[in-house]
């Protein structure tokens, strides 16, 4: 219960006429006091012999007085407007305060009476002020509560705390991109449960592919003298599109009641077809014509890392397993009858412009210039460590016999970011939890801990896998074997 020293102080200005009105004012003052308000009232605080005008002036202008409650009835209005008696004196003092400080909320009219036309009896100098209606009506209790809340600064409709600005504002998506503003529309559609929301998602995929095609260079642009610079420029120009896709996927996962796996896989299939037609088919790392789409190689590799990092962080392992198990049919343009089947490893291919030509021309002596760029370009939404973890996990999953359709070819996922030392993989470390293992085991295509342990030991006994992990490609920075990244003895031991 507040004391008189910490309770909010209010001064009540009122007319003594008629007598029953004065009694109502005193009853209000008593109730306010019972509710923790320190009320200054003449009948309680004006001592005999004290100058009442001085008392009123000191009270009204006292900064310790939080509120001045003006009890408005017909008598109070008439005396204030006519500057009569004590009310007239108070109104003169208060009007100076009100007009001098037009934005202040210290003076609050409380309406006790209306005139013959039903209009509140409020003095002219505060006529435009918002008032509390305390006439004896059914709304009295609600209005009294609002008054108390006002005095204690506890409104019913309080201003909500200031949050973070919308994440889509962080994405610098040029308005000329076909994807511009589509994410916000998708979010609204799912939140409003509109039937066209899934269609908007498919339209986004199509718009994204069109936007990506918009970065295609003209063959005559690339020369032996400028192809490195132009590749780097294309990579930088495509960054807003990457960030827009990250925002799209985050928004989609946040708002959609169901995730359309088939639509996503169709989108990735189209992306693979475009990648193959432009950057893979007939590739020669020493021909300028082949190198002009190395920006695309970089883009899809980086984009796929973000895609995997998002799903891993959100523990969307079922969606992720579906993508990693998917096959993409690619038909060679010159041999349309001869189809080739690819899997997720198609998104990881050697980038000669960065890792070879730029590295050699500028004597950079870098393990992976691609990895350097991914590190430098890491977004605010997902860290480089999260991308690196996704990269190495993709490498390990590409090792697993029977999991990947083309595992026998031994074309492993090349984790460019592994050029940076990796000491732990948090996602694998969490597999000590039985609950977590039951969720993530779908990635390894196993049902039990024993199946996974046997699978890992079989894979690591393979001569080709051992050679990869001892490769000097990463200058002796070994990618940790799965048996080191995962403590096999502790898998699913904690409930």
d(CA 461, CA 466) in angstroms, rounded, equals 7
CATH class of 9-151: alpha beta
Residue 311: which of 301, 319, 303 has the closest Cα?
Answer: 319
> For 40, phi and psi rounded to 5 degrees?
-100, 115
Query: CB neighbours of 317 closer than 8 A, spacing ≥ 6?
Result: 311, 439, 440, 442, 443
Find tokens 């005008």 and name the residue.
53
Tell me what pLDDT residue 405 has: 45
Q: Rg of the Cα trace of the chain?
A: 37
> For 474, phi and psi rounded to 5 degrees?
-100, 25
Query: CB neighbours of 214 closer than 8 A, spacing ≥ 6?
Result: 177, 178
Sheet hosting strand 107-111, strand order edge to edge: 38-40, 9-13, 65-72, 107-111, 132-133
DSSP 353: I
Structure tokens belonging to residue 330: 């690619």
d(CA 300, CA 346) in angstroms, rounded, equals 10
Chain mean position to CA 13? 51
Domain ranges within the chain, ordered by starting residue: 9-151, 167-490
d(CA 137, CA 131) in angstroms, rounded, equals 15
d(CA 258, CA 273) in angstroms, rounded, equals 27
**Local confidence pLDDT in tens for the 495 residues of the chain:** 455 567 899 998 888 888 888 888 999 999 999 999 999 988 888 877 777 777 777 777 788 888 889 888 888 888 877 776 656 556 665 655 554 554 467 888 888 888 878 788 888 777 767 788 888 888 889 889 999 998 998 888 777 777 656 555 555 556 678 888 899 999 999 999 999 999 999 999 999 999 999 999 887 878 888 999 999 999 999 999 999 999 999 999 999 999 999 999 999 999 999 998 887 775 566 677 778 899 999 999 999 999 999 999 999 999 999 999 888 887 665 555 567 788 999 999 889 999 999 999 999 999 899 999 999 999 888 999 999 999 999 988 888 754 444 444 457 888 999 888 877 889 999 999 999 999 999 999 999 999 999 988 888 776 556 655 555 444 345 577 788 888 899 999 998
Question: 37-64 burial by CB neighbour count: b if 16+ within 10 A, else e?
Answer: bbbbbbeeeeeeeeeeeebbbebbeeee
Provide the 10 A C-beta neighbour count for residue 173: 19
d(CA 372, CA 448) in angstroms, rounded, equals 38
SS3 228: helix
Peptide bond before residue 18 is cis, with ω within 30 degrees of 0: yes
Tell me what pLDDT residue 271 has: 95
The DSSP secondary structure of 95-107, one letter per residue, reads HHHHHHSTT---E
Q: Which residues pair with 449 in a beta bridge?
A: none
Find tokens 């994204």 and name the residue.
208
Torsion, Cα of 469, 406, 344, 436 (10° steps):
-70
d(CA 156, CA 230) in angstroms, rounded, equals 59
Q: Pairing mode, if any, of strands 328-332 and 335-342?
A: antiparallel
In angstroms, the first-to-last Cα distance of the chain is 48
Provide the 10 A C-beta neighbour count for residue 297: 26
Q: Which residues pair with 107 in a beta bridge?
A: 68
Provide the 10 A C-beta neighbour count for residue 272: 22
Query: CB neighbours of 181 closer than 8 A, spacing ≥ 6?
Result: 175
d(CA 479, CA 414) in angstroms, rounded, equals 11
SS3 304: helix
Contacts of 370-374 with CB under 8 Å at 24 or more apart are 370/298, 370/301, 370/416, 371/416, 371/417, 371/418, 371/419, 371/420, 372/419, 373/235, 373/298, 374/302, 374/305, 374/416, 374/417
Tell me what pLDDT residue 138 has: 83
In the chain, DSSP finds a helix count (H) and a strand count (E) of 23, 7
SS3 250: helix
């Amino acid at each position: 219960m507040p004391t008189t020293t910490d309770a909010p102080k209010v001064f009540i200005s009122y007319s003594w006429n008629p007598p029953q009105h004065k009694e109502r004012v005193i009853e209000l003052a008593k109730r306010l006091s019972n509710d923790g308000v320190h009320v200054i009232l003449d009948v309680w605080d004006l001592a005999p012999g004290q100058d009442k005008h001085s008392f009123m002036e000191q009270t009204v202008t006292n900064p310790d007085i939080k509120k001045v409650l003006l009890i408005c009835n017909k008598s109070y209005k008439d005396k204030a407007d006519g500057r009569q008696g004590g009310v007239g004196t108070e109104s003169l003092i208060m009007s100076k305060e009100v007009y001098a400080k037009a934005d202040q909320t210290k003076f609050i009219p409380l309406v006790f009476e209306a005139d013959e036309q039903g209009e509140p009896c409020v003095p002219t100098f505060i006529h435009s002020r918002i008032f509390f209606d305390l006439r004896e009506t059914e709304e009295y209790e609600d209005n009294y509560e609002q008054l108390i809340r006002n005095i204690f600064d506890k409104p019913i409709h309080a201003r909500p705390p200031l949050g973070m600005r919308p994440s889509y504002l962080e994405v610098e998506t040029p308005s000329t991109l076909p994807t511009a503003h589509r994410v916000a529309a998708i979010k609204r559609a799912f939140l409003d449960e509109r039937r066209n929301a899934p269609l908007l998602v498919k339209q986004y995929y199509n718009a994204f592919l069109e936007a990506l095609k918009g970065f295609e260079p003209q063959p005559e642009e690339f020369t032996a003298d400028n192809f490195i610079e132009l590749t780097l420029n294309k990579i930088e120009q495509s960054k807003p599109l990457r960030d827009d896709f990250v925002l799209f996927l985050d928004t989609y996962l946040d708002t959609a009641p169901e995730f359309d796996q088939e639509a996503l896989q169709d989108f990735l299939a189209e992306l693979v077809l475009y990648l193959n037609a432009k950057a893979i088919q007939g590739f020669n790392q020493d021909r300028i014509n082949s190198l002009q789409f190395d920006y695309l190689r970089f883009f899809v590799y980086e984009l796929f890392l973000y895609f995997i990092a998002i799903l891993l962080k959100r523990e969307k392992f079922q969606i992720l397993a579906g993508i990693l198990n998917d096959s993409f049919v690619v038909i060679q343009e010159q041999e349309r009858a001869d189809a080739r089947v690819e899997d997720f490893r198609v998104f990881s291919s050697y980038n000669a412009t960065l890792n070879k030509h730029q590295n050699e021309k500028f004597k950079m002596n870098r393990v992976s210039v691609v990895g350097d760029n991914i590190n430098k370009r890491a977004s605010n939404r997902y860290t480089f460590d999260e991308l690196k973890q996704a990269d190495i996990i993709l490498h390990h999953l590409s090792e697993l016999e029977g999991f990947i359709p083309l595992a026998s070819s031994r074309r492993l996922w090349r984790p460019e970011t592994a050029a940076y030392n990796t000491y732990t993989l948090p996602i694998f470390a969490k597999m000590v939890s039985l609950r977590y293992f039951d969720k993530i085991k779908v990635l390894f295509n196993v049902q039990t801990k024993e199946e996974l342990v046997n699978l890992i030991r079989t894979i690591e006994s393979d001569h080709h896998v051992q050679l990869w992990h001892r490769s000097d490609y990463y200058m002796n920075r070994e990618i940790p074997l799965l048996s080191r990244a995962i403590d096999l003895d502790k898998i699913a031991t904690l409930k």
